[in-house]
């Protein structure tokens, strides 16, 4: 793995922040008071939280029903003709007339119907002359 592909914000071993500098002594005092109050609150919360007794822990997980009660899906019978009937294969289309003598390519992959020999000559010499 190469480390140069990761964004600098994703690295864990960056530079450490230096000492916090305050504008004046009053702001520094307020920051110290807030930090002390935070430490006291954390100690109170730690004292209030009690470990869960083993008697309350569930030994086996309770199975969750997959379909809520009263929400069963309707049983709709299917029509038998779709399952039992055979599907007909579509016949390929084929030109049976006598007006078109062929299909030519004008440019790139543009197919053009050719009705007579003069059109075939015009299309074949279109790009060259």
H helix and E strand count, the chain: 3, 2
DSSP string, 43-98: HHHHHH--PPPGGGS-SSPPPPPSS-TT-PPP--PPPHHHHHSPPPPPPPP----S
CB 89 within 8 A of CB 76: no
The pair phi, psi for residue 30, each rounded to 5°, is: -60, -40
Report pLDDT for 46: 85
- Show the tokens assigned to 34: 């807030």
Q: pLDDT, tens digit, for every residue of 99-126?
A: 999 888 887 778 888 999 888 888 888 7
| Model pLDDT for residues 25-72, shown as the tens digit of each residue | 999 999 999 999 999 999 988 888 777 677 666 667 777 767 766 777
**Least confident window among 14-23, 47-56, 79-88, 91-100:** 79-88
- Name which residue leads in pLDDT, 9 or 83: 9
């Amino acid at each position: 793995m190469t480390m140069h592909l990761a964004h600098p914000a994703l690295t864990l071993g960056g530079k450490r922040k230096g000492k916090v500098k305050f504008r004046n002594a009053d702001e520094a005092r307020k920051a110290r008071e807030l930090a002390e109050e935070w430490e006291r609150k954390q100690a109170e919360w730690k004292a209030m939280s009690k470990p869960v007794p083993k008697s309350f822990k569930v030994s086996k997980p309770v199975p969750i029903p997959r379909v809520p009660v009263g929400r069963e899906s309707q049983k709709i019978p299917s029509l038998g003709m779709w399952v039992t009937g055979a599907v007909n294969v579509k016949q390929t289309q084929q030109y049976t007339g006598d007006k078109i003598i062929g299909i030519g390519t004008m440019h790139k992959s543009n197919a053009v119907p050719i009705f007579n020999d003069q059109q075939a000559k015009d299309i074949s010499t279109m790009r060259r002359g």
